[in-house]
Structure formats: C-alpha cells, structure tokens
Amino acid sequence: MKTIHLAFVALSLFSFIGRVVLSEVNPEMLKQKAFNIGPHVINTILLLSGIILVFQGSWLSMEYGWIIGKIIGLLGYIGLGIMVLHNQGATRWLAFAGALACFAYIGMAAVTKNAWFFL
C-alpha cells in the first residue's frame, strides 16, 4: 500500500505542475475531459491510500500529531492549488510557490514523523 501511495504522490505532483505549465502554454488543452477528470482520480486514490495507511499503521493516537500536520498541509496545498488554477500573474506564482512549499512540508512531515521538524 505504501508503494501505491508514493506512486500517487508523484503522479499528483506531476499532474499539478503539468496543469500549471499547460495553463501557460496551451490553456485550451485543459478543457479536454482527461485533464478535468484525471487529477481527481489521482488525488482520490492518493487520499484513500493514505487513509488505509493510517489504519494499517494504527496511527490514530495522539502520539502521531504529524498526521494532523500533514492534513493541515494538505488543506493548504488544495487551497493554494485552487488559487493557482484560477488566478493570473503574481498571485498565481505566489500561490504556486506556496503550494509547492505545502507539498514539501507534507513530505518532510511524513519522512520525519514530526509535524515540527523545522524547529
């Protein structure tokens, strides 16, 4: 299950970056059905595999605050990702940088198992 989760982490990141690049280079392509449905399928499988891993690892106790940190980071990533895809100019690029920072935070929290690894 961990391999599936990690594969979809990579697919999610590449999908997000690819959509941002396409929105700049060829925005008409984003209107195709595959570009609207694909990211939702990828992120649904990513989220489901993450939930399964939480239950497999019995990580619901309070000792595992890093999971809460990952969820908060995920909400930030989603919110900033929406801003990226709906804005232009400097706002888009600041949101893009913020979304990538959230993604990096989620990854580091997962690797270190510490929501406060940066302190």
Is 19 within 8 Å of 35 (Cβ atoms)? yes
- Residue 43 CA to residue 118 CA, distance in Å, equals 26
Using alpha carbons, list the distances in angstroms from residue 64 to 13, 57, 90, 103: 25, 10, 37, 19
- pTM over cut 0.85: yes
In a 3-state reduction of DSSP, which class is residue 88? coil
pLDDT tens-digit map of 70-110: 999 999 999 999 999 899 999 999 999 999 999 999 999 99
One-letter amino acid at 86 equals H
Q: What percent of the chain stands above pLDDT 90?
A: 66
